[in-house]
Chain A
Amino acid sequence: MSPSETAALAGTRDEAVFSEPWQAEAFALVVALNERGVFSWTEWADALSAQVRQTNAAADGSDYYERWLAALEALLVRKGFIEQADVEALTAAWHRAAHATPHGQPILLENDPMHPESTV
């Protein structure tokens, strides 16, 4: 780390809270699940710490919310609330739904050609 790295970071003073909508959603999911008692904040801090301490973390912190989401998935899998395979399957379904949705219309999971309800 060079001193200039921090100097450059210190210059980014007035950035938006979230740079993309998905970051806000990922953030809010964690707050909501904690408030519901799915995990304690200490458990969450440990999970996030494990992700951001990885040596390949971006020095400028630009991948922070990618790591935030990875920490959330890992914690929920470890505690048995979700299965990784379900996340992968639903992610693929959302991509298919987006491709199948005409431009300008809201993307709905039901638009996935492989969605059970879309074949009715």
Chain B
Amino acid sequence: MTHDHDHDHHDNDLDPMAARVRALETILTRKGLVDAAAIDAIVETYETKVGPRNGAHVVVKAWSDPAFADWLRRDATAAIASLGYAGRQGEHMQAVFNTAETHNLVVCTLCSCYPWSVLGLPPVWYKAPPYRSRAVLDPRGVLAEFGLVLPEGQKVRVWDSTAELRYLVIPMQPEGTEGWSEDRLAKLVSRDSMIGTAVALAPEAA
């Protein structure tokens, strides 16, 4: 690239990665494989419409409706879709229920497979190498770093996501919240509690 312009003049400069994305988008648009409006719509959906509130809705429904919980256990893909949250990549969902005996933790050791339709896009740490490698090797150590120390005797089961199968952790309903409204209960369900690096908030913490 030539640098014959006046360096005192503040002309426009594109970030190298921004230029590469534009180049790819230009080529793909010319080939008729993408269009700008579709790209904008996808960005808007993931920035504003899809997020862990969807997953919290699923969890709260499972807490307050035994028939839904049962459906969620048997066919999570259909049960979740019934609430309007369908995966865009045709992936299957499995709901893994925490119990007094077993705590569930989700990871993707290969890359960053994640249940987008119910949790939005994954947090940075979920995509980073330390979590991806250590969640399997030392789940209790990882949980301790998230401030979660499990009772002795509660086992940890780690679920490794794939492109075809994504997991949603259903945390246990906190004691003392029986009879709460769904809206009130949803505030107790954090994103991390549905990945398994946290549990649902206690009523006094909400």
Binding site for B on A (CB under 8 A): 1, 3, 5-7, 9-10, 12-13, 15, 17-18, 20-22, 24-29, 31-36, 38, 41-42, 44-46, 48-49, 52-53, 57-62, 64-66, 69, 72-73, 76, 81-82, 86-96, 98-103, 107, 109
Contact = CB atoms under 8 A, between A and B. Distances in A.
A49 B130 contact: no
A42 B163 contact: yes
Contact of A10 (B17, B24, B145): B145
Interface of B: 1, 5, 10-28, 31, 33-34, 38-40, 42-43, 46-47, 88-91, 110-113, 120-121, 123-125, 127-131, 133-134, 141-142, 145-147, 162-164, 192, 197
Contact of A9 (B27, B120, B125): B125
Contact of B34 (A15, A17, A32, A103): A32
A38 to B, nearest CB: 6
Given A29-B21, A103-B12, A82 B27 contact: yes
Contact of A24 (B22, B47, B197): B47
A36 B33 contact: yes
A32 B38 contact: yes
B15 A41 contact: no
A3 B141 contact: yes
15 contacts: A6-B145, A20-B18, A26-B24, A27-B42, A32-B34, A33-B33, A48-B111, A82-B28, A87-B24, A90-B24, A91-B19, A93-B23, A94-B22, A95-B14, A107-B12
Given A1-B129, A29-B39, A94 B23 contact: yes
B27 A86 contact: yes
Contacts, number: 199
B18 A101 contact: no
A33 B112 contact: no
A44 to B, nearest CB: 7
A64 B5 contact: no
A1 B130 contact: yes
B21 A42 contact: no
Contact of A91 (B20, B88, B146, B197): B20
A27 B176 CA distance: 42
A17 B50 CA distance: 11
A49 B110 contact: yes
A98 B163 CA distance: 38
B130 A94 contact: no
